[in-house]
Structure 1
Amino acid sequence: MWEPDGWDVRCRIGVLTPHGDVGPESELQAMAPDGVQVHAARVPFGAMAAGGEMDPTIPLAPVEAFVQPPHIDEAAALLAAAPLGAIGIGFTSSSYVSGPDREVELVERLQQRTGGIPVVATCAAAVAGCSALGVQRISLVNPPWFDRELDLLGARYFESQDLTVVQHGPCGLPSNQRSINPSQLFAWVVEHTPDEADAVFIGGNGFRSVGVITALEQDLGRPVLTANQSLLWGLLRPAGSHARPAGYGALFALPSADHP
């Protein structure tokens, strides 16, 4: 009799996202299993203008500023006022710039503002996903708007977590979020994935990529992880959900016992 109204969900998760970026919540909701709803809070990001516009490359200073108090702390506290099971930080590049130790400090600081609601960082979730999949050697594909320095920081991040980065670099596609075409991304990743890589990680929560995961895995014959896929995987269990998406890669096919 009644039409769906969005209230009858089993699990609600939150994501902290740059103020003009619709990518993280769009991809998270697209992947979310039935009964899981995504809610976003926006954090000022100095490299992003109205309409989500950015320069062809983003400078490091606003990336680092994104995770500094007070804005992200206040956004986390406001988001935590909703009945959520877990909150994710939808911003890969801040972890690249900060490094793993400061990423842990950020998570701990935000959890002091969320009243005990777990906080999950994208890169930490990706590292946990690689471990669960038995991955040791990764090919790192970063957004075209990451410059060489930010890309190198990403490689150093994963290498510091006992992963071998066999190849890394910004993706050679147009440096505009809305210009990313899944078919072009698929072709670029296939062409540039070295044989010695156990898996591919596509960084950048604002980098349109989850739609090509299954096709890439079928073509490459190895796991493919992305920022938002890893973040959702890292959020579901702390949020109290054992549901998994249908598709979106080997990561979600793992038994729940393999989830951290």
Structure 2
Amino acid sequence: MTALGFLYPGHSAEDDYPRIEQLLGSDIRVDLVHTDIGEDAHREDALRAMGSAERLAAGVQELRHAGAEAVVWACTSGSFVYGWEGAHEQVRGLAVAAGMPASSTSFGFVHASRELGLRRVAIGATYPDAIAGLFADFLRAAGLDPVAVHASGILTAAEVGTWGEAELFALARAADHPDAEAVLLPDTALHTASHLTVLEKELGKPVLTANQVSVWEALRLADRRVNAPSLGALFTREPIVQV
């Protein structure tokens, strides 16, 4: 049994995680601890406060007791808002506090994109323009090329959590661009786990979503690879055979 730990801010789309655990269909356990969201606002100061070291450290003891082998800060905006170097410092501090390998959703997007050999991507953000722009900057720092950025202007995670299939698909379509090799949907407050294969079929390219890449990143940290076609192209890569 591989136990994966996640620190998830507030309550919006946390039900994606047991759904993903079910779709993995393997000896994987997903443990979720909710962190204090503070002020629910897609605004730079509020997001920095939400991802502070103190707030993240408060949840790690429960994950240690659950036997987690790796921990992911399951929040995109609360990590990339610190910038490339600041986001690295954030996960280094989390690893020290947790006593286990650590990462964040933002780095999950970077590592997943590299896994799929992607460079040119389109971003479909629920956030206001300024916050969506910070995510694009983060990806550029990682060597990716955001060829299109669509921002929906939603101010709170709570509102995003009420979005259903219609809003999700409208976001993905609005974000897509002919030059993009994949579409990235970076909000962990957005329900996506049940729609990944249909999204990819409709757009004709990989779709990476925040909760999906968060779980994939935790598996990467735990040195596990799982083939799960229901979770999209990212989970259908063949394992590397060591010879």
TM-score, normalised to structure 2's length? 0.88
Q: Is 1:41 the equivalent of 2:30?
A: no
Q: Is 1:124 the equivalent of 2:107?
A: yes
1:14 aligned partner: 5
Q: For 1:211, what is the secondary structure of its paired residue?
A: coil
Q: Is 1:137 the equivalent of 2:120?
A: yes
Which structure has the greater CA radius of gyration?
1
1:190, 1:216 within 8 Å by CA — same for their partners in 2?
no
1:162 aligned partner: 143
2:121, 2:145 within 8 Å by CA — same for their partners in 1?
yes
Question: Hey, what's the Cα distance between the residues in 2 that align with 1:185 and 1:172?
Answer: 14
Q: Is 1:193 the equivalent of 2:176?
A: yes
Q: Is 1:27 the equivalent of 2:21?
A: no
Count of matched residue positions in the alignment of Structure 1 and Structure 2: 236
Unaligned runs of 5+ in 2: none
Q: Which moved more, 1:171-180 or 1:234-243?
A: 171-180
2:224 aligned partner: 241
How do 1:67-106 and structure 2 match up within 5 A? 67-106=51-90
Post-superposition offset of 1:46: 1.7
Unaligned runs of 5+ in 1: 1-9, 49-56
- CA deviation profile, 1:66-90 (whole Å, cap 9, x unmatched): 2223221121234223211211111
Question: Hey, what's the Cα distance between the residues in 2 that align with 1:164 and 1:89?
Answer: 24
Question: Hey, what's the Cα distance between the residues in 1 that align with 2:129 and 2:76?
Answer: 15
Question: Hey, what's the Cα distance between the residues in 1 that align with 2:29 and 2:203?
Answer: 31
Q: What amino acid is aligned across from residue 120 of structure 1 in structure 2?
A: S
1:174, 1:180 within 8 Å by CA — same for their partners in 2?
no
1:47, 1:58 within 8 Å by CA — same for their partners in 2?
no
Q: For 1:41, what is the secondary structure of its paired residue?
A: strand
Q: For 1:71, what is the secondary structure of its paired residue?
A: helix
Post-superposition offset of 1:256: 2.4
Question: Hey, what's the Cα distance between the residues in 2 that align with 1:192 and 1:22?
Answer: 22
- CA deviation profile, 1:96-138 (whole Å, cap 9, x unmatched): 21012111111111111222x2112111111111111111111
How do 1:171-250 and structure 2 match up within 5 A? 171=152, 176-250=159-233
Question: Hey, what's the Cα distance between the residues in 2 that align with 1:47 and 1:250?
Answer: 35
Question: Hey, what's the Cα distance between the residues in 2 that align with 1:173 and 1:69?
Answer: 26
Post-superposition offset of 1:187: 3.5
Q: What amino acid is aligned across from residue 76 of structure 1 in structure 2?
A: V
Equivalent residue for 2:131, pick from 142, 147, 150: 150
Change (3 A) 1:79 1:192: closer
1:13, 1:86 within 8 Å by CA — same for their partners in 2?
yes
Q: What amino acid is aligned across from residue 160 of structure 1 in structure 2?
A: A
Question: Hey, what's the Cα distance between the residues in 2 that align with 1:141 and 1:118?
Answer: 29
RMSD between superposed Cα atoms in Å: 2.1
Structure 1's consecutive aligned runs of 4 or more residues displaced over 6 angstroms after TM superposition are: 172-175
1:86, 1:235 within 8 Å by CA — same for their partners in 2?
yes
- CA deviation profile, 1:1-49 (whole Å, cap 9, x unmatched): xxxxxxxxx222111111x3242x421221122332221222212223x
Question: Hey, what's the Cα distance between the residues in 2 that align with 1:89 and 1:95?
Answer: 8
Q: What amino acid is aligned across from residue 130 of structure 1 in structure 2?
A: S
Q: Percent of pairs identical after alignment?
A: 24
